[in-house]
Amino acid sequence: MEFQQQFNQFQTWAMDFHGPAQKWMWSAIAVLGAFVLGLIVSAALRFAAGQLSGLRHRKLEDGQERTADHMVIDILGALIRAAFLLVSATIVANLLFGFPLEQAQILAIAALKGIAILVAVWFLGSWIGSRVRRFGQKLGKANSGSETLFNFLSALLRFGAFAIGAVAALQQFGFDTASLLAIIGAAGLAIALALQDTLKAVAAGVLIAVFRPYRIGDAVRIAGQDGAVADITPFTTVLNTIDNREVVITNDKAWGDVIVNSSVRSLRRLDLLFSIDYDDDLDKAIRLISDALKQDKRIRDEPPVWVKVVELATSSVDIRARAWVSNADWWDARCDTIRSVKLAFDRNGITIPYPHQVAVQKLKADRSPPRLQEQPEDFSAPRGLEPTD
């Protein structure tokens, strides 16, 4: 009973908004509540995005870069937290400084509508994009390379939906649609002139998505960089190198340079060059190379193994070997063949010539000037050359 009386007294005291202590208390509660609600709604947004757009299947690992979807979710979460804090700020301004709530209410409603439109449109675009991507994954099982095109279309849908949502959100603050489109058009022209290289990258990205010179997972060389294609966005192509580095290449550079795709064919040819000494048995060396290739089960019988002498070099006889393996076995088969041939050469006395250095030491020459010989005492000059006074 005594606790009930104390609680009623506290309630009566707390509901008196005219006291300075009560004003500061409710102001602190408003700010803290807005902060907590913003965190809860942001976490719910991130969870819903994972369920609808598939972000839960792409969890970030240590050191992995954040994708555009993660960044958009973070931006929307920050806007939601800012909206809640803005509402709490209007409450604090009303309690402490007597700021009229009518104007704040209009602004808060417009902000909440704009954020709601942004979130709804992005979720719609992300949901449609995820369905397009899944359809591309199913189609890619039957038609290799379709997944890349549909991933590109999925990204365009998400970014396009977000742009439309931004325009609709700005309308909630009283912007006229025609004026807004005119401003966007003028700004778009200025941005297009300033971002010519970026627009070239987007145009090249469309060509890459349509013609598909490479696909996600292919081992390629693009703009002088080797790696496996990890992602293709409207702006860039991302490669993962063999030593686990990430290389980002803009699509205009990728499309405008030579593209070497090592994964597009199911078979790949080994092309190896071996050098032996002129004094070695040539036929024996050719036989050892052929046996080393034919004993490897990864080497295909058709097309047949080809081993021939290709050049009589300055200090060696060069033998070239060609054989066909599956694309996935190419690197291991190449390394194992080189090792097997070297061991076979060592067992059979076949030498591999290597550069020799010969040191030539020259004797020091006597560069002192010649010394004149002294004339003997009985020296007499030839007739006609006697000295004269």
CA–CA separation, 337 vs 290, rounded Å? Answer: 10
Reply yes or no on whether the pLDDT at 43 is more than 70: yes
Give pLDDT, residue 57.
43
More confident position, 167 or 351: 351
pLDDT category at 365 given cuts 50, 70, 90 is: low
Q: Express each pLDDT in 228-257 by its tens digit.
A: 999 888 788 999 998 999 999 999 899 988
More confident position, 30 or 328: 328
Contacts of 114 (CB under 8 A, 6+ apart): 168, 169, 170, 172, 173
Reply yes or no on whether the pLDDT at 83 is more than 80: no
pLDDT category at 62 given cuts 50, 70, 90 is: very low
The mean predicted confidence, pLDDT, of the chain is 77
- Residue 9, token pair as written in the block: 């007294």
Q: How many CB atoms lie within 10 A of CB 309?
A: 14
CA–CA separation, 78 vs 86, rounded Å? Answer: 12
Alpha-helical segments (H) within 268-349: 282-294, 330-347
DSSP-derived secondary structure letter, 93: H
Reply yes or no on whether the pLDDT at 65 is more than 60: no
Q: Express each pLDDT in 11-31 by its tens digit.
A: 666 666 666 776 777 777 777
Q: How many CB atoms lie within 10 A of CB 142?
A: 7
Whether residue 303 is preceded by a cis peptide bond, meaning omega within 30 degrees of 0, is: yes
Query: Can you give the pTM of this predicted structure?
Result: 0.48
pLDDT category at 126 given cuts 50, 70, 90 is: confident
Reply yes or no on whether the pLDDT at 66 is more than 60: no
- Bridge-based pairing of strands 246-250 and 236-240 is antiparallel
CA–CA separation, 285 vs 316, rounded Å? Answer: 13
User: In this structure, are residues 337 and 289 in contact, taking their beta carbons and an 8 Å threshold?
Assistant: no
Give pLDDT, residue 201.
83
Average pLDDT over residues 77-90: 72
Concatenating the DSSP letter of every residue in 111-128 gives HHHHHHHHHHHHHHHHHH
Cα atoms found within 13 Å of the Cα of residue 308, Cβ hemisphere only: 5
Average pLDDT over residues 142-163: 67
Give pLDDT, residue 340.
94
CA–CA separation, 129 vs 135, rounded Å? Answer: 10
- Residue 245, token pair as written in the block: 């580095």
Reply yes or no on whether the pLDDT at 54 is more than 60: no
Q: Worst-scoring range by mean pLDDT, 58-62, 238-242, 244-248, 271-275?
A: 58-62
More confident position, 220 or 148: 220
Q: Express each pLDDT in 162-203 by its tens digit.
A: 777 777 777 776 666 666 667 767 777 776 676 677 778 888
More confident position, 221 or 105: 221
Average pLDDT over residues 206-233: 88
Reply yes or no on whether the pLDDT at 114 is more than 60: yes
**Domains of the chain, CATH where assigned:** 9-194 (no CATH), 213-261 (2.30.30.60), 267-347 (3.30.70.100)
pLDDT category at 265 given cuts 50, 70, 90 is: confident
Q: In this prediction, what percent of the chain has a pLDDT beyond 70? A: 65
Give pLDDT, residue 269.
93
User: In this structure, are residues 274 and 229 in contact, taking their beta carbons and an 8 Å threshold?
Assistant: no
Cα atoms found within 13 Å of the Cα of residue 125, Cβ hemisphere only: 23
More confident position, 139 or 225: 225
Q: Express each pLDDT in 310-323 by its tens digit.
A: 999 888 999 999 99
